[in-house]
A and B are shown apart, each in its own frame.
Chain A
């Protein structure tokens, strides 16, 4: 037990900063006119995404994100909502991953995706100042696109509508070893991890906009280029902090994407979750909306300069 007491004493400053940052963020959302909502932790239909695996809880699943329930609220006229709660993802353990973690997710109806980026920028600065560790993010965050990064760091010209085989060919041409990867997303992420991600920390906090349509998930098509979707990821100091969408409100297209993700899960021998019909029913009622999920634990890592996610939580998965 002395070991645990020492460990928790060591983490005390981070846990105190965690509470301060949480309070500061809550106040900020309140001032911005957001309603804080709580959504169910146990659901029938967790996230459909191919690479997110939910943890079972009796006859239900623990949420991998509060997204579906929050969109149902947006569809019912809740135009500015935020949730600060736990999410669970099976088998995710590493310096930046815990199977149980805290996510801050918010939606702004009638707002463009760029507005969500401004929110993120403000919140990173606020978190850094509330943490009080002297980490500052004064300069405006950079804004780049996936295509620009792929061209610059991998010498790869990404379209977004090339076949998986064509993308694999481009990746090999860029000197990337693909192993047995054949799926579009697997080829993409092998290039991303090998060539692009290691270069991102040098850019400072950076918004990566305009993701290719095959990585669209719940994002709407880019109005100027249907090969892309309205999505950004915020990276800072090697951390993937936030993922945002201009939300797809076309129920037919969303259903088609769910079905293709279901097929991909089946093909990979993964558990297949039911499609969330309540979400699909709510989508047509949603106004144009932008939303984002921001990893609260990682935000603290950034604000405190912590190397590992366990440094900012009281009990990591192997300490429970």
Chain B
């Protein structure tokens, strides 16, 4: 199946130069006396690289055989991570190289979105925010509630996050998984 340029929407997935892409932004453009084009900003689903192309009206875009499934992260087994499809209960092992640094913010039993390309898992997207309990951190200095100064704290996945000095072991904090940054305290020890 092929798409037409008029099918271009945010999130449309299609093949270009042998790789799957998803549309991030698009705009109708029409130079004076010329054909209509769709200026399209898109992301390579395999490499994350973002690029822009102008597709002339009438060009066809090939559908990409990609699928996104919600899966639960079960456990780690050496260099692979095992996930379970939350609807079919099928399990799939995904190598650490595919998951990358996201592993640091992927606690067991969390639901993630797994991207399949030609039925092969090629990417994992975490929820934007997770809440995690601090397992280890130096106690804060008495009376120091400054948020400008930070200290390292360990969360249950083993990752280290910079937190304000008033955070204690046992506190639950909210983290942005895209940046790995502390956002706020959501529960006290």
Cα-based distance from A185 to B28 in the complex (angstroms): 18
The one of A180, A181, A193, A243 in contact with B33, judged by C-beta atoms closer than 8 angstroms, is A243
Report the minimum CB–CB distance from A153 to chain B (whole Å). 14
Which residues of A lie under 8 Å from residue B58 when comparing CB positions? 180
Which residues of A lie under 8 Å from residue B60 when comparing CB positions? 180
The number of A-B residue pairs with CB atoms under 8 Å apart is 60
> Is the beta-carbon distance between A94 and B33 smaller than 8 angstroms?
no
> Is the beta-carbon distance between A233 and B32 smaller than 8 angstroms?
yes
The one of A93, A189, A197, A243 in contact with B35, judged by C-beta atoms closer than 8 angstroms, is A189
> Is the beta-carbon distance between B27 and A51 smaller than 8 angstroms?
no
Contact with A along B131-167 (1 / 0, CB 8 A): 0000000000000000000000000000000000000
The one of A95, A97, A194 in contact with B54, judged by C-beta atoms closer than 8 angstroms, is A194
Which residues of B lie under 8 Å from residue A125 when comparing CB positions? none
Contacts A92-B28, A94-B30, A179-B56 given; does A193 touch B39 at CB 8 Å? yes
Q: From residue 224 to 259 of chain A, which have CB atoms closer than 8 A to chain B? A: 233, 240, 243
Contact with A along B48-61 (1 / 0, CB 8 A): 00000111101110
Contact with B along A161-205 (1 / 0, CB 8 A): 000000000000000010111000110111011100100000000
Which residues of A lie under 8 Å from residue B37 when comparing CB positions? 189-190, 193
The one of B31, B39, B53 in contact with A189, judged by C-beta atoms closer than 8 angstroms, is B31
> Is the beta-carbon distance between B28 and A93 smaller than 8 angstroms?
yes
Q: From residue 34 to 54 of chain B, which have CB atoms closer than 8 A to chain A? A: 34-37, 39, 53-54
Report the minimum CB–CB distance from B83 to chain A (whole Å). 37
Report the minimum CB–CB distance from A199 to chain B (whole Å). 14
Report the minimum CB–CB distance from A92 to chain B (whole Å). 6
> Is the beta-carbon distance between A189 and B59 smaller than 8 angstroms?
no
Cα-based distance from A96 to B27 in the complex (angstroms): 9
Chain A, residue nearest B26 (CB):
A94
The one of B28, B30, B33, B54 in contact with A215, judged by C-beta atoms closer than 8 angstroms, is B33
> Is the beta-carbon distance between B32 and A94 smaller than 8 angstroms?
no
> Is the beta-carbon distance between A97 and B35 smaller than 8 angstroms?
no
Contacts A179-B56, A180-B59, A181-B56 given; does A192 touch B28 at CB 8 Å? no
The one of B28, B29, B59 in contact with A193, judged by C-beta atoms closer than 8 angstroms, is B29
Q: From residue 76 to 135 of chain B, which have CB atoms closer than 8 A to chain A? A: none
> Is the beta-carbon distance between B31 and A91 smaller than 8 angstroms?
no
Interface size class of B (residues with CB under 8 A): 10 to 19
> Is the beta-carbon distance between A51 and B35 smaller than 8 angstroms?
yes
Cα-based distance from A94 to B36 in the complex (angstroms): 11
Q: From residue 77 to 114 of chain A, which have CB atoms closer than 8 A to chain B? A: 91-97
Residue among B29, B36, B39, B54 having the largest count of chain A Cβ atoms under 10 Å: B54
Which residues of B lie under 8 Å from residue A197 when comparing CB positions? 31
The one of B33, B36, B55 in contact with A185, judged by C-beta atoms closer than 8 angstroms, is B33
Which residues of A lie under 8 Å from residue B39 when comparing CB positions? 193
Report the minimum CB–CB distance from B18 to chain A (whole Å). 13
Residue among B28, B29, B34, B36 having the largest count of chain A Cβ atoms under 10 Å: B34
Which residues of B lie under 8 Å from residue A233 when comparing CB positions? 32
Chain A, residue nearest B17 (CB):
A177
Report the minimum CB–CB distance from B122 to chain A (whole Å). 24
> Is the beta-carbon distance between A193 and B54 smaller than 8 angstroms?
yes
Report the minimum CB–CB distance from A97 to chain B (whole Å). 6
Cα-based distance from A271 to B137 in the complex (angstroms): 73
Report the minimum CB–CB distance from A172 to chain B (whole Å). 14
Residue A49, interface by CB 8 Å:
yes
Residue A217, interface by CB 8 Å:
yes
Residue among A93, A179, A185 having the largest count of chain B Cβ atoms under 10 Å: A179
> Is the beta-carbon distance between B56 and A190 smaller than 8 angstroms?
yes
Which residues of A lie under 8 Å from residue B35 when comparing CB positions? 51, 185-186, 189
Contacts A179-B59, A194-B54 given; does A95 touch B36 at CB 8 Å? no
> Is the beta-carbon distance between B28 and A179 smaller than 8 angstroms?
no
Cα-based distance from A192 to B53 in the complex (angstroms): 12
Cα-based distance from A192 to B35 in the complex (angstroms): 12
> Is the beta-carbon distance between A51 and B34 smaller than 8 angstroms?
yes
Cα-based distance from A262 to B56 in the complex (angstroms): 21
4 A-B pairs with least C-beta separation: A94-B28, A189-B34, A193-B54, A179-B59
Known: A95-B28, A186-B35, A240-B32. 13 other contacts (CB 8 A): A49-B33, A51-B33, A51-B34, A94-B28, A97-B28, A97-B30, A179-B56, A189-B56, A193-B29, A193-B54, A215-B34, A240-B31, A243-B33
